[in-house]
Structure 1
Amino acid sequence: MGQKGILAGLPWWVKWIALPVLVCVVFGSLIISVLGIVIDVLFKALLLVALIGGLIFVVKKFTGSSSSKGGDW
């Protein structure tokens, strides 16, 4: 007996409201912690890319200007 057999006789509000609410109640903290970890990793990756890009920009700006303008900041 599959999932369609179990849920076949239930009203629509049980399938689309009650079951998702029960899943969120039972696994809510797990879902929130996993989402928090994913968001944290994405934020740190974007921050790393921005810092590396900024470092490359600053290094190229000052090394390019020192060879062409004599090193004045």
Structure 2
Amino acid sequence: MAAREIFAGLPGWVKWIAIPALVLLVFGGTILAAIGALVGLLFKLLLLVALVGGLIYVVRRFMASSSAGGSSRGDW
């Protein structure tokens, strides 16, 4: 028996309101945990990109100032 046959005789409010509400009731915590983990992972990835970019900027600026100005660090 396919799912289409099971849902064929049910009213529309059962298919579109009651069943999704039950799914959210049972799996709501799991869905929120998965979304939270995904958002946390994206935040950490963005933080990593920002830190690596900042490190590259600082190293390039330090190397440019040390090669151009000798030992003077007045522009820091």
Same fold, judged at TM 0.5 (above): yes
TM-score (norm 1): 0.89
Identity of aligned residues (%): 56
Distance 1:15 1:62 in 2: 64
Say yes or no: does 1:56 pair with 2:56. yes
Encode CA deviations 1:27-72: one digit per residue, 9 max, x unaligned.
0111111111111111111101110111101110121121112242
**Deviating 4+ runs (over 4 angstroms):** none
Quote the RMSD (CA, aligned, Å): 1.1
Letter in structure 2 aligned against 1:29: G
Tell me the TM-score normalized by structure 2: 0.86
* Residue segments in structure 2 that go unaligned for 5+ positions in a row: none
2:17 corresponds to which residue? Answer: 17
Number of aligned positions between the proteins: 73
